[in-house]
Chain A
């Protein structure tokens, strides 16, 4: 059909729209000039200066603490929740409730958590950010693992029980290995979401421990610098790598 080529035009337009700004950032990060918009030659000096930036380094450490902690907790809770929903509760309402943190506007969750933490007297710190990231992270893990559970055969677990294996042994030897791709993909997604998350961290973080996105926010507000271009390039590379790995481990698009 001759019209197929014409139909694909919007696709190319969308890809151009999505990737041109990213490509410009990456190219500009290797620009020797101090003026961020004028190309004067190839250089990696901004990556060197970035490595010297104390604020960025601190932000990165804070972000990694939150992201690793949130990933571990969210993966455990989210996996258990997914199994509970798919195998035992089987209620559409409970499932929707579990996935709600992923759909609720981040600003609403952020102000709610700020109000809640101050009401119960939890001082704002990396710990309060971690708890907040677990809430939506858990929903993403649950979504991916529920999708995986839908593709697996529960009779395998039943067979294991019938043959005399204990519930715990069945869980460790049968359930977890079959779910592993979903669990790993979910964990990778929580990690990327957490290292990039700004709005909720902005409301629930203490002033002395800014996460990397909060540091980036203050840098961007201050103006365009070649250092941000370098930082952007590194973060884009990290996110792309993680998400593509998650996609390869399980067919992510089946879950969304």
Chain B
């Protein structure tokens, strides 16, 4: 009898737990499924069908959209996008890594303020941050005038509407996304490990390249992905700072959906960006597992 009662009590407790799960997590998960997962799956589905006349699709299966993505015009756009996003990412790491390192080495009380100052611009209007660079790089802009005034150049340079301007704009938009994960991994570093290495006679350079760099690599890779992938998909910066001369994957996708209205082809292009994201995350996970395994053995 007691056993039966406690069993039914356990049943009731389990039902209550299930109820609590449904009440708390249910609505949110449902919402995400409805307004993120289904839309993204829809993009995947659309990529296999023929285009409708005014957007949408005609439900006839085809692989034509995928074949089109390999036409030279689009391959060129992809190559240029990879080049621009890649350069942006390298620069973001070159500037962001030492910055994050410097913040992690600040006295405790300054670190939060230093981090907030890095993140703050990221929470402001993205268009305005991009617009600020038009003001700076314009032929009558501050940078050109300053360079002419100090006699460094005699006539204003065409700084705006170049791939360089696009790279600067993307860098400006996404650099906090490198600094945060690198900071987190530098902060987690085991100080004793570093001290032990230098006590055993390793030079500072050796300590950095043999210990610090490998252990912070997973964080740096996360940061690199957070810069690289959105850079590929950004259409605002190439348009405003590249003057339409630099066409990136993001611009192509935007045009397919809002101008030429070829949604299935736009879907294929978007899937390439998602595939890149997934691939890079998988690579990051693989490398960080290997690094963790190695330090665990050591």
- A52 sits at the interface (CB 8 A): no
Whether A196 lies near B124 (C-beta < 8 A) is yes
A residues 222-247 near B (Cβ < 8 Å) are 224, 228-229, 231-232, 235-236, 239-240, 242-244, 247
Q: Is the CB of B95 within 8 A of A14?
A: yes
Residue B114 is within 8 A (CB to CB) of chain A in the complex: yes
B40: Cβ under 8 A from any A Cβ:
yes
Known contacts A18-B175, A228-B131: A7-B102 contact under CB 8 Å: yes
Q: Point out the residue from A8, A112, A229, A244 that lies within 8 Å of B40, measured CB to CB.
A: A112
Is B257 among interface residues, defined by CB-CB distance under 8 A? yes
**What is the total number of residues of chain A having a CB less than 8 Å from a CB of chain B?**
89
A15, B42: Cβ atoms closer than 8 Å: no
CA separation between A132 and B145, bound complex, in Å?
43
B236 at interface by CB-CB < 8 Å: yes
| Nearest-Cβ distance from residue A87 to partner chain B, whole angstroms | 7
Chain A residues in 8 Å Cβ range of B131: 25, 216, 220, 224, 228, 232
In the complex, whether B158 has a CB less than 8 A from a CB of chain A is no
Chain B positions 22 through 60: 1 when the CB is less than 8 Å from some CB of chain A, otherwise 0? 011111110110011011101100100000000110000
Q: Is the CB of B134 within 8 A of A108?
A: no
B5 to chain A, nearest CB (A): 20
Chain B residues within 8 Å of A142, by CB: 28
CA distance in complex: A22, B124 (Å)? 10
A25 contacts which chain B residues (CB < 8 A)? 128, 131-132, 135
B161 beta carbon closer than 8 Å to chain A = no
Let me know if B126 and A14 touch, CB within 8 A. Answer: no
- A138 on the interface (CB 8 Å rule)? yes
Question: Does B142 count as interface, using CB distance less than 8 angstroms?
Answer: yes
Known: A10-B95, A105-B233, A135-B36. A236 touches B25 (CB 8 A): no
Q: Which of B's residues lie within 8 Å of A, judged by CB?
A: 17, 20-21, 23-29, 31-32, 35-36, 38-40, 42-43, 46, 55-56, 95-96, 98-99, 101-103, 105-106, 112, 114-121, 123-136, 138, 140-142, 145, 172, 175, 179-180, 229-230, 233-236, 239-240, 250, 253-254, 257-258, 263, 266-267, 270, 273-274, 277
28 interchain pairs, CB-CB under 8 A: A17-B172, A18-B175, A21-B135, A24-B142, A25-B128, A37-B142, A37-B145, A77-B28, A77-B31, A80-B27, A88-B21, A107-B234, A107-B254, A111-B43, A115-B267, A138-B31, A142-B28, A198-B236, A203-B257, A216-B128, A220-B240, A221-B239, A224-B135, A224-B138, A228-B131, A232-B132, A244-B120, A253-B116
Q: A9-B102, A138-B32 known; 5 other A-B pairs, CB under 8 Å? A: A17-B95, A104-B36, A115-B263, A198-B125, A243-B120
